[in-house]
A and B are shown apart, each in its own frame.
Chain A
């Protein structure tokens, strides 16, 4: 090994918006390195949304001759499944970013670096959007190629649907991340399973009016139910329901704040119990 020179190295300033953005970018770079060098990872991200989309597309073809609303809105189920995957991938993206760090036993390196907790969370959220775009984007391409269905047929409301679903996915993803931090990688399965607790009451494929009254109350408290009600209103009645949008946005503010709070609590718990240094495989 060569003898060191030890000339003083130059560092950027550490506080302010630009340094903060630089650290978030570093975290994204770390996960982008991981994603981009593994084509099986990228394929698997688009695989499940695509297979599910194909399943619902064939069901649509089968039911259309005998089902009036599908004649009016042939993209009903395909649109629903693609929007659902935005929510699911959004949540998964947040949780998997943490799980990758736990697998790598890298969490302490990150938390001993100048990376702030809110920057770590921001990195999780950006990765969630990227994962959702890759996963659902692949399925959208196949929907267009195989069934001539374009998700852009929603028009501008697609932006509202996407935003509301991805933000709700962030909130659940942060809560799941908190549970994994609290109970370790043994709780990893929650990352894959948690969203399926939300699915039946979100009215992805059916109106929430079919649920028992008490469960409708639960559904109305979920942003996802308002998005899918709004989607049905758009497809069947041709109108954008601002009331559902407002409910979804308001509820998302509450859930995201709760998600951030519970994640911060979990980090504090991990610091209290020495888990940041020891967690991992």
Chain B
């Protein structure tokens, strides 16, 4: 797949999506989208409800089979060689939970073993310190608040120190304080590890703060993409919140330049 791209882009790309479709009977959830996510960057996948964000993330993760198209992640064709990529990526999603009767430590231990960590205890202790989970390690996951569960899910997602991290609404249920700390942690992690992050979010402040690039989806197609600053300037708006409303509502405000940006590689 990446052979079709200029070599500089292919070398620089952590994720290359090309002509990706997902049909459910008569419904076309994703309609031939293509995009590239550069290594070591944080990219937002934005769109209203039903735009195709979670469907796209699910296909990237390999839990949803595309109708057509290709996905290359970390240089591997994920549809053919999924297991070469899975140890190097991780994710969180509000659609997925952890076993509720297991304690936080037990849950993290199971996934540490699944990912093949040589020192699971050390890594769990490290993440527990970083995510302020030390006091929760012995508590059943099902007894935690929504915010605490989100922190545990993020800790699980970072167990294997992923090179690509896919985040679906990573801070949705966190209070502003914890949400801010989590963003700071993710930013630090991204900067220090050169991890590539692709996140779906409805929090435009988060997107402006964290993301180098934005891919805007509407009704299963890529309608625009660029850096937050570029999009704000292009739409003549004050912030990403307003840009999002323009694009998600698909109004006439959308500039011609933006409309032409469908399915281009960043």
A interface residues (Cβ-Cβ under 8 A, vs B):
1-6, 8-15, 19, 22-23, 25-27, 29-30, 33-34, 37-38, 100, 104-106, 108-116, 268, 271-274, 276-278, 280
Contact = CB atoms under 8 A, between A and B. Distances in A.
A108 B192 CA distance: 28
B85 to A, nearest CB: 9
B109 interface: yes
22 contacts: A1-B182, A1-B185, A2-B129, A9-B117, A11-B116, A12-B116, A12-B118, A14-B83, A29-B109, A29-B110, A29-B113, A104-B98, A105-B96, A108-B63, A108-B95, A108-B96, A110-B114, A112-B61, A114-B115, A271-B63, A277-B64, A280-B97
Given A29-B109, A276-B63, A113 B115 contact: yes
A277 B193 CA distance: 28
Nearest to B127: A4
Contact of B181 (A1, A100, A273, A277): A1
A106 B98 contact: yes
Contact of B87 (A14, A33, A38, A273): A14
Contacts, number: 140
B9 interface: no
A274 B64 contact: yes
Scoring B97, B116, B193 by chain A CB atoms within 10 A of each residue's CB, the highest score goes to B116
Interface of B: 24, 54-55, 58, 61-65, 83, 86-87, 89-91, 93, 95-102, 106, 109-111, 113-119, 123, 126, 129-132, 156, 160-161, 181-182, 185, 188-189, 192-193
A226 B87 CA distance: 45
Nearest to A276: B63
A142 B212 CA distance: 67
A104 B189 contact: no
Given A3-B130, A30-B106, 16 more contacts: A1-B132, A4-B188, A11-B117, A26-B114, A27-B110, A29-B109, A30-B102, A30-B110, A34-B101, A106-B98, A109-B156, A114-B114, A272-B64, A272-B65, A274-B58, A277-B63
A109 B108 CA distance: 12
A141 B206 CA distance: 61
A184 to B, nearest CB: 15
A112 B101 CA distance: 21
B192 A4 contact: yes
A23 B160 CA distance: 14
Contact of A109 (B24, B111, B185): B111
Contact of B99 (A9, A100, A112): A100
Contacts of A5: 126
Contacts of A108: 61, 63, 93, 95-96
The 8 closest A-B pairs by CB, nearest first: A26-B113, A12-B116, A105-B97, A6-B192, A10-B118, A104-B99, A276-B63, A113-B114
Nearest to B131: A1
Contact of B117 (A3, A10, A29, A278): A10
Contact of B58 (A6, A104, A277): A277
Contact of A3 (B61, B116, B188, B193): B188
B193 A6 contact: yes
B110 to A, nearest CB: 4
Scoring A4, A5, A268, A277 by chain B CB atoms within 10 A of each residue's CB, the highest score goes to A4
Given A4-B188, A37-B101, A277 B95 contact: yes
B191 to A, nearest CB: 9
Nearest to A30: B110
A114 B118 contact: no
Nearest to A15: B83
B114 A277 contact: no
B82 to A, nearest CB: 9
